[in-house]
Amino acid sequence: MWRTAVAVEAWLGGNTMTMIGHRNQKLVAYPIRALPDGRVLGNFIFELGQSGDGPPREEWNRRIDKAKFAHAFADWKFDWLDVPALIEAADSIFEFPKVDRDPVERWSFGRVTLLGDAAHPMHPVGSQAGSQAVVDGRVLAKHLADHPDRPEFALQEYEAERLPPMRDICLSNRNLSHEIIMDLVQERAPNGFSDIDDVIPAAEIAQRAEAFRTRAGFDVTSLNARESHSRHRGCPVHRA
């Protein structure tokens, strides 16, 4: 993966997260902030599937020459986003190997536990790893508050609640989770399409997106309806 931030004309309304491509070639683009000149500072992540010649997995955030990947995106010119032009405009581009680790069996050891990336490093699918670290913190705080005199038990309870869903998410991320929609479109219409409804029904997209939201705990209705107090026993996070 190669990442950069570039000032560009706002695309698709200025607040749109965009994913283009499929498993082996992808661009993820989202606006970071509006700029005074009317443009936006966009975050751009380019991905190419490679075999064997990626950087070592502990090597990340290295500045690289854009020539390493720019050629693959040379014809990605859309009327709403000119990808070769934005690569050309990028000052600095950083390289990230796309790696994860097998889920572990245990997070809590006595009065010590794991949280966030230390507990569940995952493939970056769904832009969610940071959010999941926040949820870990919330659930951990809840169990510590529920069992102030039994911290070791609280850490076991936290692990019992969070480890199984995070194990499932890490494993399903390896198969792209909801981003599999992009692979399906590529498979069904390798030469392109003019109407997405001809390729994949809107109901199938909605169903896959909803399954992801439910699995990841991002269902908007549930989140908005939830009590925020960490000790509220009925909260969906606690029930998840």
- Among positions 97-116, residues that touch ligand FAD (CB under 6 A) are 116
With CA atoms as reference, report the closest residue to 48 among 92, 98, 89, 86: 98
- Using CB under 6 A as the binding rule, whether residue 117 contacts ligand FAD is answered as yes
Got the DSSP string for 135-158?
HHHHHHHHHHHH-TT-HHHHHHHH
Question: According to the binding rule CB under 6 A, does residue 125 interact with ligand FAD?
Answer: no
d(CA 47, CA 103): 24
128 binds ligand FAD, rule: CB under 6 A = yes
Burial class for 156, CB neighbours closer than 10 Å (0-12, 13-18, 19+):
middle
CB of 131 to ligand FAD, least distance (A): 4
Check binding of 217 to ligand FAD (CB under 6 A).
no
Measured in whole angstroms, how far is the alpha carbon of residue 38 from the centre of its chain? Answer: 27
Q: In what order do the strands lie in the sheet with 40-48?
A: 18-22, 25-34, 40-48, 2-8, 94-95, 62-63
Count other C-beta atoms under 10 Å from residue 194's C-beta: 7
CA gap 82, 200 in Å, rounded: 26
3 interacts with ligand FAD by CB under 6 A: yes
- Contact with ligand FAD (CB under 6 A): which of 29, 87, 125, 129? 129
- Closest distance between ligand FAD and the C-beta of residue 149, in Å? 27
In the complex with ligand FAD, which residue's Cβ is closer, 76 or 96?
96
Does 9 contact ligand FAD by CB under 6 A?
no
Least distance from ligand FAD to the Cβ atom of residue 100, Å: 11
Span from 126-134, 156-164, 192-200, 207-215 in contact with ligand FAD (CB under 6 A): 126-134
Stretch that binds ligand FAD, among 7-15, 123-131, 195-203, 226-234 (CB under 6 A): 123-131
Residues contacting 36, CB < 8 A, separation 6+: none
- Region near ligand FAD per CB under 6 A, out of 13-21, 121-129, 150-158, 201-209: 121-129
15 binding ligand FAD? (CB under 6 A): no
Binding ligand FAD (rule: CB under 6 A), the pick from 15, 24, 92, 131 is 131
Q: How far apart are CA 133 and CA 94, in angstroms?
A: 24
We find the least distance from the C-beta atom of residue 32 to ligand FAD, in angstroms, to be 10
CB of 92 to ligand FAD, least distance (A): 13
Separation of alpha carbons 23 and 184, rounded Å? 10
Binding site for ligand FAD (CB under 6 A): 3, 96, 116-118, 127-131, 133
